[in-house]
Amino acid sequence: MVGKFWPRLAPALIMSIVDEAINHGIDWFDTAEVYGGGRSEEALATALDDLNILADDVYIATKWWPVLRSARHLETSAQKRLMRLHQRPITLYQIHQPYSHSSIPRQMEAMARLIDEGLIRHAGVSNFSAQQMRQAYQALKAHGHTLVSNQVRYNLLDRRIETNGVMQAAADLGVSIIAYSPLGQGLLTGKFHDRHQLPEGFRRLSPHFRLAFLHKTRALIDALRQMAQAYEVTPSQVALNWIISQPGLTVFAIPGATRVSQAAQNAGAMAFRLSASDRQALDHLTSDFSR
């Protein structure tokens, strides 16, 4: 079901996208077991192999799918993840959802063993609430390791982590935020505002692609375009820069790419920095999306 949100890409295109990303300074990639049942991991590894990219030249983050599983499976799954990744190191291993049969302390105990055994380098979580993240942090700390990240949905149209405690917990603990869907599944590019054309796959079912929401966000898209023109960048680069330049907190954005040009464009978001006044303007326009 997860794979139905995005189009299927040919291996040659995947390799070209990865190559373009690396050439523009992107050196870590996020994938997951549930993305195609491991086929996403294998496609990434194959592309890196074909490009002759050494294992230590890139960082790979992947995720364990916990639904209807226990912490014991987390450890056996790590071996499968390594196999899918052609034995490339797992820099960051994340628990994809907080829905395991095992408690969070048991999961963190398993993560600590994986680190101690050298199967993974760092442990993170995804979609964890503030309370769950704090519990995971303390449980892992008891085994001598640090929880390094929480991957959550975060973009100009979804700022709930600012008010539900997740961002504050991350700041308190020194945990990084990894923002998935940083462009609102493409909505922040503005292309769907120019023509009401539904996206491919399951994204078309999202209420964000209905006419009412497109109308509601028109002012934001106009502001992104005006700022993009001033900085000589694109609206999507402005939206991404807003995420990665959050003051007082480390936030990584993980935009996807289905075209080579998008990989280069994503990397370009790191080449400038929004002014404080522009950040404030975007904050004001999107304050309703923080609830």
Give the CATH number for residue 100: 3.20.20.100
Residue 168 domain-assigned? no
Catalytic site residues? 35
In the chain, the amino acid numbered 145 is: H
**Residue 287, in any domain of the structure:** no
SS3 label, residue 3: helix
Distance CA 225, CA 219 (A): 10
What is the SS3 assignment for 179? strand
Contact 220, 193 (CB under 8 A): no
What domain range includes position 34? 2-153
Q: Which two tokens stand for residue 255?
A: 């935009």
Domain count across the chain: 1
Asked whether residue 26 is assigned to any structural domain, the reply reads: yes
DSSP assignment, residue 97? S
Residue type, 59: Y
Question: What pLDDT does residue 211 have?
Answer: 72
Q: Does residue 107 fall inside a structural domain?
A: yes
Q: What angle do CA 212, 216, 217 make, to 5 degrees?
A: 120
Structural domain contains residue 238: no
Note whether 147 and 124 are within 8 A (CB). yes
Look at residue 270 and tell me if it is in a domain: no
Predicted structure pTM score: 0.93
Token pair belonging to 148: 């390094």
CB 78 within 8 A of CB 93: yes
- Residue 229 domain-assigned (yes or no): no
pLDDT, position 185: 85
Torsional class of 173: left (φ above 0), alpha (ψ -120 to 50), beta (otherwise): alpha
Tens of pLDDT along the chain (291 residues) come to 555 556 789 999 999 999 999 999 999 999 999 999 999 999 999 999 999 999 999 999 999 999 999 999 998 999 999 999 999 999 999 999 999 999 999 999 999 999 999 999 999 999 999 999 999 999 999 999 999 999 999 999 999 999 999 999 999 999 999 999 999 988 999 887 776 666 555 555 566 666 777 888 899 999 999 999 999 999 999 999 999 999 889 999 999 999 999 999 999 999 999 999 999 999 999 988 766
Phi-psi region of 19 (alpha: psi -120 to 50; beta: other; left: phi over 0): alpha
Predicted local confidence at residue 289, as pLDDT: 78
Q: Is residue 76 part of a domain?
A: yes
Give residue 85's pLDDT: 98
